[in-house]
Structure 1
């Protein structure tokens, strides 16, 4: 709280996700400032995760932990719609991102091993053969899926089981960045998987009329095509989409999906429906689908400038290079 007293937070007092962003920020700050106190704290956080969160049997990291680092296990008190006790793609991709940033300033052998481990897990286990991320898993990496259930049950558990196009395009870039920082030359497997993820998102979750990636889709049993179950377009998915599309346009300039034209369409969408040209910053979602967000909060615990600053900075650098 504001007096420095640790507040109780239900089942999980600590999460791998939050620690990942802590490591990411500390490493980036050290790279910019040379402040060794920040690097030391990042190393401490990595060591804490290694001791408490890393799974030596099935690999990857437990997301939810007690304050002493004991991983939270699912039990009868945890509802079926809760993610407590599951491993998940979101903490995994942000651990990958954090370890990539930390490895740039601290090329530690164990850190390299964990960074490579996360890259392979995300690429070969968490990403489905179709090219979309599975969101949640049992500790042994058995997917959490409700696809065999009735539609009402599927939609009740949609938080745990859907296609998140924004995460797919973001992860494609994060994997390629990690592969590059690891120095994996001619890593065609990661490149092809990243392209599969972007292409899947464009073919199934892209608004061809005005641009933008939809928030959620689902492969209902017996359907040949994915169904859009949430057609809003959150700000971070569009930001990450621009960054990834421009990157793919550089790698595959003549691809039939026309990545550069999609990037231009997404930038036009962003200027039209996401950027607040009167007061600044971005709305939380596209006003074409959620006009009420024009009066919603610009910033809160899940809404910060992290995604769109990185995207715009990377895009400017790439376009200037071109």
Structure 2
């Protein structure tokens, strides 16, 4: 098994380098600055596309985190480029928030404060601070955290509201994307707020921040984790009345390891014990979505009793970490076998060996999904992070 693990670590190190190389070579927007807004399925840059704050924040995190492994000057340079572009063009100095998107000429396009984007920016900025010690990055991260607490936090029922206008007023359309329910509190945003906050706490040991992370993890445990089924509940109104939706296998397995990591950062023993238990429970229920070929299905719709029969790149990436984490916690090699099979599936079906990066996903019949190679949602964060996490976890 150790031989297989050594090989996996070697292959993931090479793959991380390949992912970073793809973004270094293809994603820089030389004309307008920052990064191109979209690269299509055929690896063609779509010029003059709007740029999303989430893409820039995720590039910032990925290159900042990767630099700590690679020590390559090129990776530091791209992290710096991402930081400078984010702070100069997405950070809203007037209201202290973050633009959701900007036009190619860098003027604001969608100015709403989508809390998900603020959370990812905190995640990226705090990681960049680790490698740069740039006080400006830390200050912006702290400012965004304080704005979330001031405007998005629900002091009555706890938890966080999805979105607000540029000047922090209530907004009618709260949705993160077209596929989401228009509800005030969502699992996805809470997951990434706690991820951002925990990363910030690693570099800024503020007691109030620590308490906010602890409360967030308690809120997630109370409302978002269905302790009977082990699956996540996804959408709620402001009073925590659930709007039932699909089972998201990708989010189940991502939350399994990520929430435990956040609990460990707080050093709160009770929470760590709880989230160790959930990490195994959620990994086990994710097995429902695992196909015989090692791929993990995207979602299951209980109302229609049918699979959303697609295997997306990010779901497979999170499966690598979530199941390896379950192996670390239990020592049970069945989880390790799933990791090997998952990596084999990724190599066979998702790696673009011609142009680099991963395809968006495949359909039930193994045909490729012809979605972006890079764009608003297609970033180097999930697959890059899967490589980073396993490289650091596999001890050889």
Instruction: Using structure 2 for the length normalisation, give the TM-score.
Output: 0.69
**1:7 aligned onto 2:103:** no
Instruction: Name stretches of at least 5 consecutive residues in structure 1 with no aligned partner.
Output: 146-160, 222-226
**1:72 aligned onto 2:171:** yes
**Cα deviation, residue 200, structure 1:** 0.5
Deviations 1:127-186 (A, max 9, x none): 1121111111001111112xxxxxxxxxxxxxxx10000000000111110111011236
Match of 1:265 in 2: 341
**Cα deviation, residue 6, structure 1:** 2.7
The structure-2 alpha-carbon separation of the partners of 1:246 and 1:74, relative to structure 1 and needing over 3 Å to count, comes to closer
Match of 2:118 in 1: 19
In 2, Cα distance between the equivalents of 1:74 and 1:300? 22
Match of 2:217 in 1: 119
**Cα deviation, residue 123, structure 1:** 2.0
Alignment of 1:289-300 (within 5 A): 289-293=365-369, 296-300=371-375
**1:247 aligned onto 2:325:** yes
In 1, Cα distance between the equivalents of 2:312 and 2:179? 22
Match of 1:152 in 2: none
In 2, Cα distance between the equivalents of 1:82 and 1:299? 21
1:137 counterpart (221, 230, 236): 236
Provide the aligned length of Structure 1 versus Structure 2. Answer: 289
Match of 1:201 in 2: 286
Retained in 1: the 8 A contact 2:361–2:368?
Answer: no
The structure-2 alpha-carbon separation of the partners of 1:253 and 1:277, relative to structure 1 and needing over 3 Å to count, comes to same
The structure-2 alpha-carbon separation of the partners of 1:81 and 1:299, relative to structure 1 and needing over 3 Å to count, comes to closer
Match of 1:100 in 2: 198
Retained in 2: the 8 A contact 1:274–1:287?
Answer: no
Q: Which has the higher contact order (CA 8 A, sep 6+)?
A: 2
User: Could you say what the CA RMSD is over the residues aligned between the two structures, in angstroms?
Assistant: 2.2
In 1, Cα distance between the equivalents of 2:138 and 2:289? 39
Alignment of 1:1-322 (within 5 A): 1-8=103-110, 13-72=112-171, 83-128=181-226, 129-145=228-244, 161-185=245-269, 187-202=272-287, 204-207=288-291, 209-220=292-303, 227-254=305-332, 258-286=334-362, 289-293=365-369, 296-319=371-394, 321-322=395-396
Secondary structure of the 1:139 match is coil
Secondary structure of the 2:300 match is strand
In 1, Cα distance between the equivalents of 2:357 and 2:365? 18
In 2, Cα distance between the equivalents of 1:107 and 1:304? 29
**Cα deviation, residue 7, structure 1:** 2.6
Retained in 2: the 8 A contact 1:214–1:233?
Answer: yes
Retained in 2: the 8 A contact 1:273–1:287?
Answer: no
After superposing on structure 2, the runs of 4+ consecutive aligned residues of structure 1 that deviate more than 4 Å are 287-290
The structure-2 alpha-carbon separation of the partners of 1:24 and 1:82, relative to structure 1 and needing over 3 Å to count, comes to closer
Retained in 1: the 8 A contact 2:159–2:190?
Answer: yes
In 2, Cα distance between the equivalents of 1:81 and 1:2? 25
The structure-2 alpha-carbon separation of the partners of 1:289 and 1:19, relative to structure 1 and needing over 3 Å to count, comes to farther
In 2, Cα distance between the equivalents of 1:84 and 1:250? 38
Retained in 2: the 8 A contact 1:123–1:193?
Answer: no
Secondary structure of the 2:166 match is coil
Match of 1:154 in 2: none
Retained in 2: the 8 A contact 1:72–1:85?
Answer: no
**Cα deviation, residue 219, structure 1:** 3.0
Instruction: Using structure 1 for the length normalisation, give the TM-score.
Output: 0.84
The structure-2 alpha-carbon separation of the partners of 1:91 and 1:297, relative to structure 1 and needing over 3 Å to count, comes to same
